[in-house]
Amino acid sequence: MREIVFDTETTGLSHQNGDRLVEIGCIELINRNETGRTFHAYFHPDRDMPVEAERVHGLSIGFLSDKPRFHEGVEDLLAFLGDAPLVAHNAAFDVGFLNAELTLCGRSIVAMERMIDTLAMARSRHPGAKHSLDALCTRYGIDRSHRIKHGALLDAQLLAQLYVELCGGRQIGLGLGETVASAAARAAAADAIAAPAIRAIRPPRPHAASPDEIERHEAFVATLINPVWTLTGPAVDATGRPA
């Protein structure tokens, strides 16, 4: 199964208010394993870059000034995406910006049914915990020491690792390459468990006390004072109280 994990960087938080997509990074997965194929592009936003956004991703309008517009790179992006399911963290945000750009250049938008949201997956698995990409990488032991600022391709690479962990880790592939010999061994083990156990009958062991043990027991009993088994009832005085 082919899937694409992607992340975006933008000029702000609201494409409805004119913010634009300036970077996209995509990672290809086949059967939840990275293939090494990626797509990465910067885009000129045709507007200024707010200081707050630049602090997050470090992309200045000067850096983006010679980059292509989205419509100039859309063909390569769509060819890479194909018809694969798309994975994003807080998918509504990323696909919202992607669809806004696709709409501006007259292309079909991405249906939400095609999206897999790792934020929703994390909230379901870890209710009440922190669900940012940084917090989840820490939880799952994913190295992010090289992440100084947000970057679409770097974040997509981290997200690809996180997505695999949220899906059950690398164990999801176990058993797919099972050999005939290992299958036969497991079947034999199952048969052995299901078959009724046959136990060898052993002769009973002698358990009577020896003459020496009887003699020592009688010597011990002789030392007891008023043992309970010699009394016919509790000793009482004339009033019926215990003597």
DSSP state of 152: H
Bridge-based pairing state of the strands 86-88 and 33-42: unpaired
Residue the block writes with tokens 């009887």: 214
SS3 111: coil
Residue the block writes with tokens 């000067």: 62
Q: CA distances (Å), 207 to each of 150, 202, 213, 214, 215, in order?
A: 79, 15, 12, 13, 16
Residue 150 among the catalytic residues: yes
- Tokens representing 24? 């996209």
Write down the catalytic residue from 126, 150, 207, 217.
150
> Residue 117 is inside which H or E element, if any?
strand 115-117
Question: What is the C-alpha separation between 131 and 162, in angstroms, rounded?
Answer: 11
**Catalytic residue annotation:** 150
